[in-house]
Chains A and B, each alone.
Chain A
């Protein structure tokens, strides 16, 4: 056992040895009392849908659920700002006792009248699931009355983990897709699924597709617009970036509309180039293929020298990865390879059996793979694996800092754009500036000038900034 903190977590932590693939326990309920880093069903639905910029996102529940998710996603908009406001039915005790349907109906009317949104998403929370409000019925009659889509999102917090929330969001989007007509301008059309325009990521990849002659019908959901989503069924191809959140939708679209999908990633030079090539390959246009190669060559020669500079400063350092979903984690392994760094820990909140199989295939021997980790395990693992850097989200940031370990934010509230060719330069820089910051070399313990007789025993596991 690599770390042994909670009974019942044994199967979730493994070290890769030899060529065997590791059967990791995963995709089950979090252990009570273990301080999982996971959130809830509602949170999963919320992060997927919220980047839809012009929709009105209404949370049917007590104020907390709305307050803690208000404007927390770092998804940018090139226009509408409605998604950055928080709307809630703010359920009170009486609503819980007598049911919240009437209040919900009234709130929908009120908000539709003053904001005139092209669509409203109504999220259910834990309490709605317990008291049994029929939000589907409320949404249906509101939709008929208002003449706009009012779509229920079945995201009762306790009914599973984040994956269930992704599914609920995909189902909501599926209801919206296919409700408008449109004649595409280009014969080559696609949708981007699971691209959230965090820190403006989308804008760093969109121009390449345009240069290739491809029209992006809808971006789901980064910098997304309701009218684009409604016509997404007209695209010929779906490119799925965040596979954990959107593969389900891609499959449903394939089933219903016969649109094939490909999993891609815009992060890392190798993955970025391969994403563009995947699209060109699909459309079987020689001209497009040639254009794609020109783009890749041009961009690589432009960014490689910059990346080389940072690579020389971080080569050989040890990285730990802890992500929400597996897609980003896998992309990160490749990106670290491009920087000459070793991945020593890799974990996700909600990976499934296939994800972990894939992960264990691509990582080196000695790498620890962990599912649904908690702060105590992460802390032990970071020490034992002697990580120099942790890539994760805000909750993990301060854990790393307290341990004296560099940190790179790769979550949905980051503010640096990491996708595309330029994004990789930003990522390399970010890794470089945190690993090589002088703050880690400052002495944590001052040399006391008053001498005592006692000798101090150094614990080998304790991080030591001064001497490392």
Chain B
């Protein structure tokens, strides 16, 4: 039903900057996110994240009112910091601005400098990142927050022999757990940031901590300037400012890689780790790789030439499309709601002839999907109206996913994740065929 428009955005395929910052702050141990802006922003994003992860998500707000908008929000922000520290006992507070705070011109770094004089501030680390909603998407907010955290903490002391692993784009807690397990099984000393494996997917225990446990320790982030190298995954199209900073500032060599999604991208990630550590991939993972290949061979005929539309976050779209190409599928539409010139180039190289869209909304995506006879949609749940309107199967992958269970446990990275995706895509196609009258 939605039509395509030049100016209006109809059914958005992206979110706003502060949302991305929450993913980074929640991936730091003992860190409490705080939005400097009006109360609604924090409540809406809490609701959005609670729907996705099926977890309680606390985000504080400086709760700016009309008075604050006129006279400046410094008093509110300072009071907010005090209350968050008193109520939650955090090790760190991550401040993200909203469009209100940005437009009234609050100087957050200055307010934070002033706050550091207060007695409450003594044992709390405070990060701040500028994330005005109107500037860019949640992906940009994520990158900006990651850079802000690394810039404010990383330092040089003595070499630690570790590898920094920066997650350059939003992945699920299950994906983070997988990467951590791989590195542990491999015996590679590492600093992984941000680590949302527990904080967005907390086990049910007797004690229910005010701030969920897990997350990258502050100490580890400080130590990131002493590492042997940095690998950013999910930083193909967008780069990763945090990794570049570590290279420029501390001479830690940085490699920006795609998400290890699909066989070749995972090979590339694993290969880079082998080069850096001179340790071969553990045997168990070689077997996993073999099982993935086996799965891909099993499914190749079903997948042959299947016309797909992949949409969502840039790196996820690129990763999913490369897996599809490996299987012999035919991605027709590669779309993201974010804007990235590199995405357009990389996506066109990956899937020559496909329709590549940046800054797209679902009215535009749907138009292309219909024109190009797509058979399968892969992306967040936000494509569900499109899927229903043209009766196409939709495989929900990535954030957000509000209407199916298991978003926090959805594994797509590594050989194991790719195998699961192949199964899921194959089953979605079979289910769809069985539903249609033969």
List residues of chain A with CB under 8 Å of any chain B CB.
5-7, 29-43, 58, 61-72, 81, 84-93, 95-96, 103, 106-107, 110-111, 114-115, 126-127, 129-131, 157-161, 374-376, 379, 394-395, 397-399, 401-404, 444-445, 459, 462-464
Contacts and interface: CB of A to CB of B under 8 A. Distances in A.
A35 B40 contact: no
Nearest to A34: B83
Contact of B40 (A40, A72, A464): A40
B38 A40 contact: yes
A36 B43 contact: yes
A126 B83 contact: no
10 contacts: A32-B76, A35-B59, A63-B12, A68-B15, A70-B382, A103-B7, A110-B7, A114-B3, A127-B103, A397-B50
A31 B62 CA distance: 8
B63 A32 contact: yes
A114 B210 CA distance: 49
B205 interface: yes
A400 B275 CA distance: 48
Contact of B66 (A32, A34, A160, A374): A160
A87 B10 contact: yes
Contact of A399 (B42, B56, B59): B56
Interface in B18-69: 18-19, 34, 37-48, 50-51, 54-56, 58-66, 68-69
Given A6-B86, A33-B79, A103-B7, A462 B206 contact: yes
Given A71-B385, A462-B207, A62 B16 contact: yes
Contact of A67 (B15, B50, B99, B207): B15
B371 interface: no
Interface string B153-182: 000000000000000000000000000000
A402 B213 CA distance: 13
A395 B46 CA distance: 7
A232 B64 CA distance: 37
Contact of A62 (B56, B68, B84, B133): B133
A301 B87 CA distance: 51
A394 B288 CA distance: 38
A158 B69 contact: yes
Contact of A90 (B12, B42, B103): B12
A41 B38 CA distance: 10
Given A68-B44, A93-B134, A394-B51, A33 B80 contact: yes
A106 B7 CA distance: 7
B47 A38 contact: no
Contacts of A81: 1
B237 to A, nearest CB: 20
A127 B133 CA distance: 10
Contacts of B9: 63, 66, 86-90
Instruction: Assign chain B's interface to a size class.
Output: 35 or more
B48 A36 contact: no
Nearest to B77: A32
A95 B132 CA distance: 13
A111 B268 CA distance: 46
A158 B106 CA distance: 15
Nearest to B384: A71
A71 B337 CA distance: 18
A464 B206 contact: yes
Contacts of B11: 70, 85-86
Nearest to A103: B7
B5 interface: yes
B18 A445 contact: no
Interface in B66-109: 66, 68-69, 76-77, 79-84, 86-88, 98-100, 103-104
Nearest to B98: A126
A432 to B, nearest CB: 22
Contacts of A92: 134-135
Contacts of B206: 444-445, 462-464
Contact of A36 (B47, B61, B99, B137): B61
A96 B134 contact: yes
B56 A85 contact: no
A341 B10 CA distance: 46
The 4 A-B residue pairs whose C-beta atoms are closest, nearest first, are A40-B40, A64-B16, A33-B83, A33-B80
A413 to B, nearest CB: 8
B7 A38 contact: no
Interface in B335-363: 337
A89 B9 CA distance: 6
A64 B19 contact: yes
Contact of A107 (B7, B80, B100): B7
B56 A127 contact: no
B332 interface: no
B56 A34 contact: no
B87 A5 contact: yes
Nearest to B85: A33
Contacts of A127: 99-100, 103, 133-134
A379 B58 CA distance: 12
B56 to A, nearest CB: 4
B389 to A, nearest CB: 9
Contacts of A5: 86-87
Interface in B94-152: 98-100, 103-104, 132-135, 137
B43 A86 contact: no
Of listed A64, A87, A129, A444, residue having the most chain B CB within 10 A: A64
Contacts of B135: 92-93
A36 B205 CA distance: 25
A444 B54 CA distance: 19
A49 B1 CA distance: 21
A62 B99 contact: yes
Of listed A36, A111, A158, residue having the most chain B CB within 10 A: A158
Contacts of B81: 33
Nearest to A400: B56
